[in-house]
Structure 1
Amino acid sequence: MRAHAKRADPLECNVSVVRFSRRLWFGLLAAWSLLGCAAGFAASPDWTVDRLMQSLSRQTSGQATFVERKYLAVLDQPVESSGELRFRAPDRLEKITLKPKPESLVLEGNTVTVNRGKKQYVVQLSDYREVAAFVDSIRATLAGDRATLERTYALHLAGSPDNWTLTLLPRDPRMAELVLRIDIKGSRGLLREIEIRQADGDRSVMEIAAAGGTQ
């Protein structure tokens, strides 16, 4: 029997703004890697954030696998999960967690649908201003809209086309209360790792591989 969908109560489904934000960040940013091999960089001295944005804005659809590790202050060992990511332009993302417990998170438009066990929760991003700000900024990144992205984050690009790191530092004080920094690592048009450092000291690292294990 199909699980009955209901409007999410943050306390009932035990998902905080930080957790929602982190999940959506990981999922949307991971969409960069799905077709990245088709949009490479030329190794030249004028390689800049603008060139990175231009390349990453060419995504249409794709699929990848992920392994996510959460390092929490209250635990001695990281919490690990793994599964699949699916992206379809312009705004549909599926994060399918297979281990340790099955769960799906689908973002489409303004709606987030979470299936966990026999329960389904539906969340409207407009009800969570901080999360909506996260999503809007990531969509701006996927669209190559640097101006919109920089309204929320200061961008710092380091490394070379073959081994680059893009660091995002929140400008908005409300955002800074949740997230300290986000480090996105990749090689040419391929995203390989996303690390989110929260203001409370916890951090999460997601490693991403193209479906089928190719990089």
Structure 2
Amino acid sequence: MSFRLSRLIVLLSLLGSMLALNLSAAAELQLGDLMRQLAQTRTARASFVEQKFIGMLDKPVESSGELSFTAPDQLEKRTLQPKPEAIILRGNELTLERGKRVLRASLLEFPDAAVFVESIRATLAGDQHALEAVWRVELDGSLARWTLRLTPLASNAYVNRIRIAGVRGEVRQIEIEQHDGDRSLMNITRLSAP
């Protein structure tokens, strides 16, 4: 085999490897792959720090606490700072706890809020059909580091856009942009199982 022919074979082999890597990277951008990865998590706990940027205020309002999720439909947000409060969602039952006050309601009574809640819950559960039923979904990145951009398909009085970013099967950040220009940014750190 001549030197020139062996170089050509090596070059073709390298090009084939590069093409395979590019095809592999493109495959990682498929929403179904991400949803399957997310669906593997049946329970999760995390800490959060949330900043709310409100137009009337000079600086963001910050809160922190813990989140928990149990597939397919239980979601809890327990704020510890600045004041303890809990928002618990089991199916369509919504419970708000502040001090000794407890308020219970059906999520179905708040359709605009339900759409927002379902975006988070469907993402955590890896439920692509539920997500696409009410959101235009755009996915950027790879399975190693991804970003979902959600825009409501129908008019929503509350949410303009949601951005959810993560690493592999973990949600790490949720940003919500409201119609009134206010927004919130929640950074999430997964906690190890108890």
TM-score (norm 1): 0.72
8 Å Cα contact 2:124/2:171 also seen in 1: no
Structure 2 distance, partners of 1:137, 1:191, is 12
- Map of 2:34 onto structure 1: 52
- Map of 1:134 onto structure 2: 116
- Map of 2:63 onto structure 1: 81
8 Å Cα contact 2:52/2:60 also seen in 1: yes
- Map of 2:174 onto structure 1: 194
| CA separation of 1:68 and 1:210: change in aligned 2, threshold 3 A | same
Equivalenced residues, count? 168
Asked which structure has the greater RCO (Cα within 8 Å, sep 6+), the reply is 1
Q: Runs ≥4 in structure 1, deviation > 3 angstroms?
A: 133-145
Query: Bigger radius of gyration, 1 or 2?
Result: 2
How big is the shift at 1:164? 1.6
| CA separation of 1:64 and 1:52: change in aligned 2, threshold 3 A | same
| CA separation of 1:62 and 1:198: change in aligned 2, threshold 3 A | same
- Map of 1:37 onto structure 2: none
Structure 1 distance, partners of 2:141, 2:185, is 19
Structure 1 distance, partners of 2:41, 2:32, is 16
Q: Structure 2: 5+ residue runs without aligned partners?
A: 1-23
- What letter is aligned with 2:164? I
2:127 is aligned with 1:110: no
Deviation sequence 1:34-54 (CA, Å, 0-9, x none): xxxxxxxxx633111111111
How big is the shift at 1:104? 1.0
Q: Could you say what the CA RMSD is over the residues aligned between the two structures, in angstroms? A: 1.8
- What letter is aligned with 1:149? L
Match of residue 148, structure 2, among 166, 170, 173: 166
Q: Which moved more, 1:50-59 or 1:75-84?
A: 50-59
